[in-house]
A and B are shown apart, each in its own frame.
Chain A
Amino acid sequence: MNRNKLLLVAVLLMVLAVSSLAPVFAQDDALVIWADGRRAPILQGLAEDFEAEFGIPVEIQQVELGDVRDQLLVAGPAGEGPDIGIIPHDHVGLLVRNGAIVPFDLSEFEGQFLESALALFTFEGQVWGLPYAQENVAFVRNVDLVPEAQTTWEQVAATSAELVESGASQYGFVMQTGDAYHAFPIISAFGGYIFGLNDDSTFNTSDIGWNSEGGLAAAQWMADMYAAGLMTPSWDTTALQEAFNAGDVAMFVTGPWQSNALLESGINFSIDPIPGAEGVSEAGSPFSGGQGFIISAFSDKQLLAESFLYEYVATDEVMQQLFETEGRIPAWTSVDTSAFPTVESFIAAGANAIPMPAIPEMGAVWSAAGNSQTLISTGEDAAASFNDAAEQIATAIEGLAAPIETVTLVGSLQDEAGCPAEWDPACEVTVMTDDGGGQWSITVTLPAGDYEWKVALNGTWDRSYPGANVALSLTEETEVTFRYNSNTNGVQDSVNNPESFGG
């Protein structure tokens, strides 16, 4: 029995120990910042200055960049979220969609932020973050093995073959396996892309360019490299860096986060722009990405957070410190980049960079696109692999898009056409007839007046086309025919587009 009593006493003592460990609680009036381990120390210093000057406590909590998005959506509504966070730019789209962040007005910093960095944080016409860093990959070359800059991927292939044959190094150029981010510059050099652009330069997610002509050419280039034994599968950046340091790999693609590793490698290296493709492009485009500060929409201290960011963070000194932690491309133009001699080269390689899309649909791209490249590395057919990937992306995005069963003409003309209500996708009177071949149409006689219309699929608002309502003005009673094409999701009516109706 004694032993048990001792045990109980021990437990009690431990409980007391916990209680004595007065945990640090966020004070209600403290400005809370979520920062990752690398940024936290810098912000901690700022926090102390801020508190000393204004008497307002600032608390830095450590949350990794990639975790901020999901955690903000749980903690924010519960009142436990931060006022300020740091995120990678490609999370902006989903955060905006969740109403979780507020827009910035950075007009007072005219010229002080890189335009390209601001563009990364721009979504639906507004800036949602205060950027501090930008990054893109570049083509890294061992100058002793490959003295000449490579201008095309065809040349890269030839150089690789020479190096391997002569035994100068084990491999020439090697790419990361199954990694669409690092493969993209090759794809883009050959003219491939991920999503096409609409006229308003938003992404058209039904135009998937992974298996476009250019995409397939890039796939074939990779397949040839693997078939010739010039590249092998199972490489990631860490392994490539290691083999590069040992002189076994002469060229690879990487970003500024490897700056320290490159500088310490002892290899005589050069950071070049991405090679192009013969007759297609001068240089491949890498993706550009960025990191920046956001203000939570759930915060009750948004104005204070804004002051902190504008007056304390957007300064030469802090931006300099943020740059020096990692050597990413600074988004603040007046940063002195001499600490990392590699930065200027990465900036040059990013001259034609394409902002990595911040739209949720990208979630469907990474694994499908990466898989297709892995398949090529193991000898599967190049074109088939890329076509499958494009198919997978389309399937994921369209998802459960049920087949079209009905198409309904909706708008302010519905009551004139005999429906009980306007803008009612469930009205059966204005259901179009299926003319075959993806063509749907309906003819309605309407009195004079100004109308707006669009079409809705399957009796709900889940899918409706076009994005904006179509205006229709009638000066007299008119018989109007409306058409919808399910292949292009385009619409026409006989008044606005008389040419298509043989008029």
Chain B
Amino acid sequence: MSSTAKQPASSSYQHVESRSVMSQRERIFTLTFRFTIIGIAIFFALYPVIYVISAAFNPLGTLSTRSLIPQGIDEFSDLFTNFRTLLVDEIEIFPFWNWLFNSILVATISTTLSVLVCALAAYSFSRFRFNGRRSLLLGILLIQVFPNLLSFVALFLMLQQIGRLADVIPQALPFLSFIDWGFLRLFGLDSLGGLILVYLGGAMGINTWLMKGFFDTIPRDIDESAMVDGATHDQTFWMLIFPLVRPILAVVGVLSFVGTFNEFVLARFLLRDNDNFTLMVGLFSFVSAEFSQNWGKFAAGSLIAATPIVIVYLLLQDQIVGGLTQGAVKG
């Protein structure tokens, strides 16, 4: 996977081009043109990020865009004031590593489950024709665009109820008390399990659509020939389709990982205890006070937080662009 040149699908475009009549000069021109564009794009993408980095090293905690060089630095170690406060001085009060661990845990689990569940639904939408299919498809997308301002109240009460069942069930049904119903609290209020549950509903409609669109582009010949060979739907899905759609699974994976990792509106409402916070909830508390925002700590935390996201992307990038469609068609 490491060498991109071996990937037939991504090279197809290029492959075609090289066959057309194109002088060496033209090629150089095209490449220069592309690199100029790439240069501009990278500048556009990264310039604002430089300010975030600058803020992270600015001991005054302001989000200054006046100068890139952090102010208030008397000696070298001042550069790391925010990092030091975040990771050393206040670690007892604001358990940064706990937050980071919680975020990674929540994002990983909800992403994995969400990708699986969406893939199953997308397969069905793509491969089966049944009554109400289109309405159902439309329905799950439409319901997701409901501007749900009050959902946090409903979700709060729901998780609270689930957590309460841990006490209610053993009381109401004493003969069942041989089971430790306390595990329900793992999905109650102020729990990461509950948060994962809530995130699972999050972008399911859109992700299903996205996958379904991708599944549609995979020729039906593939599964039909497998079915003729006597494979069940389950086998076809897991052994043939699943590997084929890896790019889109990776895309959806990255999207939901980033989405859940950076989510804080719901999490802020559902999590209470400092130790249970996700990273964004924890960091956001540094800037949510009206007159005393500490952007320095926020920026420093964001930079550390961006690392897992970039790592996840790097890991999945080969999956995303290393398409296997070519091989699949041959198979």
Contacts and interface: CB of A to CB of B under 8 A. Distances in A.
Interface of A: 1, 3-4, 7, 10-11, 14-15, 17-19, 21, 23-26, 36-38, 40-41, 44, 59-67, 71, 74-75, 78-80, 237-238, 241-242, 245-246, 255, 257-258, 261, 264, 326
Given A18-B105, A75-B156, A326-B292, A37 B112 contact: no
Interface string B277-302: 10000000110111110000000000
B292 A242 contact: no
Interface in B107-147: 108-109, 112-113, 116
Contacts of A18: 105, 109, 186, 192-193, 196
B197 to A, nearest CB: 11
A4 B185 contact: no
A36 B289 contact: yes
Contacts of A1: 238-239
B109 A40 contact: no
Nearest to B189: A80
Contacts of A38: 289, 292
B43 interface: no
Nearest to B196: A18
Given A4-B242, A65-B289, 17 more contacts: A7-B112, A23-B276, A24-B273, A26-B273, A37-B285, A38-B289, A41-B93, A59-B273, A62-B277, A63-B272, A64-B288, A64-B289, A66-B290, A75-B156, A80-B189, A255-B291, A257-B291
Nearest to B59: A264
The 8 closest A-B pairs by CB, nearest first: A257-B291, A61-B272, A37-B285, A41-B93, A64-B288, A23-B191, A24-B273, A14-B109
Given A18-B186, A74-B153, A24 B292 contact: no
B160 A78 contact: yes
B330 interface: no
Most chain A CB atoms below 10 A, which of B64, B238, B239, B291: B291
A206 B213 CA distance: 58
B60 A23 contact: no
Contacts of A326: 292
B280 to A, nearest CB: 13
A86 to B, nearest CB: 11
Contacts of B109: 11, 14-15, 18
A238 to B, nearest CB: 6
Interface string B92-105: 01100000001001
B186 A23 contact: yes
B6 interface: no
Contacts of A241: 62
Nearest to B295: A238
Contacts of A60: 274
A289 B152 CA distance: 30
B114 to A, nearest CB: 11
Contacts of B196: 18
Contacts of B94: 37
A61 B291 contact: no
B68 interface: no
B112 A23 contact: no
Contacts of A264: 60, 72
Interface string B246-281: 000000000000000000000011001111110000
24 contacts: A3-B243, A11-B112, A11-B116, A15-B109, A18-B109, A18-B192, A19-B193, A23-B275, A23-B276, A24-B190, A24-B276, A26-B273, A60-B274, A61-B272, A61-B274, A62-B285, A65-B289, A74-B153, A75-B156, A78-B160, A237-B291, A242-B64, A264-B60, A326-B292
A22 to B, nearest CB: 9
Secondary structure class of chain A's binding surface, majority of residues: helix
A16 to B, nearest CB: 11
A440 B277 CA distance: 61
A320 to B, nearest CB: 19
B112 to A, nearest CB: 6
Contact of B62 (A25, A74, A261): A261
Contacts of B186: 18-19, 23
A137 B116 CA distance: 55
B170 to A, nearest CB: 15
Q: How large is the interface on B (under 10, 10 to 19, 20 to 34, 35 or more residues)?
A: 35 or more
B31 interface: no
Given A64-B285, A78-B160, A21 B105 contact: yes
A218 to B, nearest CB: 23
Contacts of B102: 21
A107 B105 CA distance: 51
Contact of A40 (B105, B193, B274, B276): B274
A307 B113 CA distance: 48
A37 B105 contact: no
Contact of A36 (B108, B156, B272, B285): B285
Contacts of B192: 18, 21, 23
B33 interface: no
Contacts of B183: 19
A243 to B, nearest CB: 8
Contacts of A261: 60, 62
Most buried by B among A17, A37, A41: A37
Contacts of A258: 291
A38 B285 CA distance: 9
A195 B102 CA distance: 48
Nearest to A257: B291
Contacts of B9: none
B74 to A, nearest CB: 11
Contacts of A257: 291-292
Given A24-B276, A36-B289, A74-B153, A14 B93 contact: no
Contacts of A238: 62-63
Contacts of B153: 74
B286 A37 contact: yes
A95 to B, nearest CB: 18
Nearest to A82: B272
B66 to A, nearest CB: 5
A13 B61 CA distance: 40
B38 interface: no
A245 B274 CA distance: 36
Interface string B3-21: 0000000000000000000
B157 interface: yes
Most central of A4, A23, A75 by chain B CB within 10 Å: A23
Contacts of B63: 238
Contact of A14 (B105, B160, B286): B105
Contacts of B160: 78-80
